[in-house]
Structure 1
């Protein structure tokens, strides 16, 4: 019984991340379907993690592979966000290179070692954040700058070897940062779309 509140508390930030990403996916679908798919992949990975926590707490044998979910949401979902930014800006060749590279890396999940997987996840995060930040600087998109910086902070934090930050679990802090970064990226895509009209 003592582990139940901690487990429920760990699932709530993941549920919040899933809700933010689902909302962003629904609202971004009219602007750019690729970016909406990136939000959707992140939402599905977060909600699968929440289902795994709830299943464990309720005694249900849910075999959710959180590593594979994180892999897909990061290696494909994040580059799809950058794909949307580049596509809306008219840079279709860079957008296609980002998407093609992400799909090739995602297909190699079984062939990478643990260290290789961690390196690919970090690389996908860095490339996405740099792409979003660069385009946001040139287009003067404040929300893009904010989203890129928050997602960069989440990527930096995910690579750190800490269990708690300011008495909060690392996963909870990461979920909150990812939710804030995805929300800012959604606003940035809307701003960029409105500027083009």
Structure 2
């Protein structure tokens, strides 16, 4: 039996961590925040499509990542904004994500890439802004980590810090999802 190269292990491990963190966050937030739970669940399902042996095709992986980005991340931001009374931004983010999800087939690969990166950065910045004004430290870190994932994906290099760029983006997204889950929890405790 031949051993798997480090890059395959790194990719599998980053998908597994992102899926586990996202699934835990979805289960933990399901009672209090259905929108955020759905966003976390979409991230977990997108990570699972790459780990499942029968579903591992490039089209399935790309479709899962696209849906998790343009619908899942706006769902996360939706609840954060909604709970803080910023309903117009919440609706705008979610509506924009839905429009992009429908228009995804009409965009080329480069268009989907740019749109996905824009969604990640817009979600990260809006979460960061709300977290700063509400002094939610976890929200600030969550916004920074989500923004870091979006910025890392824009870099031209294939490897960063001895890891493939995509794996590093998933690690940053997993860290951002965990801290964002904690931000929602802190925000919920503040309202109670």
Class of the TM-score when normalised by the shorter of the 2 chains: over 0.9
- Partner residue, 2:123: 128
Q: Which residue of 1 aligns with 2:51?
A: 50
The answer as to 2:103 corresponding to 1:108 is yes
- Assess, with a 3 A threshold, how the Cα gap between structure 1 residues 27 and 61 changes in structure 2: closer, same or farther: closer
Q: Give the C-alpha shift of residue 47 in structure 1.
A: 1.2
TM-score of the two chains, using structure 2 as the length reference: 0.92
State the shift of 1:30 in Å: 1.6
Q: Of the candidates 157, 163, 179, which is equivalent to residue 162 of structure 1?
A: 157
> Hey, what's the Cα distance between the residues in 2 that align with 1:195 and 1:61?
41
Gaps of 5+ in 2: none
Change (3 A) 1:62 1:126: closer
Q: After superposition, what is the alpha-carbon deviation per residue over 1:39-58, rounded to whole angstroms, capped at 9, x for unaligned?
A: 1111111111222xxx3xxx
Take 2:55 and 2:91, find their aligned partners in 1: how far apart are those partners?
Answer: 40
Deviation digits for residues 100-148 of structure 1, max 9, x if unmatched? Answer: 1111110111100122111211111111011100100110000000000
* SS of equivalent residue, structure 1 residue 4: coil
More displaced, 140-149 or 121-130?
121-130
| CA deviation after TM superposition for structure 1 residue 93, in Å | 2.5
Give the deviation of 1:14 after TM superposition. 0.6
The alignment's C-alpha RMSD in Å is 1.6
Query: Which SS does the other structure have where 1:108 is aligned?
Result: helix
Q: Is structure 2 residue 142 aligned with structure 1 residue 147?
A: yes
1:193 matched residue in structure 2? 188
In structure 1, C-alpha distance between the alignment counterparts of 2:135 and 2:95, rounded to whole Å: 27
Q: Distance in 1 between matches of 2:118 and 2:130?
A: 18
CA shift for structure 1 position 63? 2.9
Quote how far apart the aligned CAs of 1:92 are: 2.0
Asked if 2 retains the 8 angstrom alpha-carbon contact of 1:28 and 1:36, the reply is yes
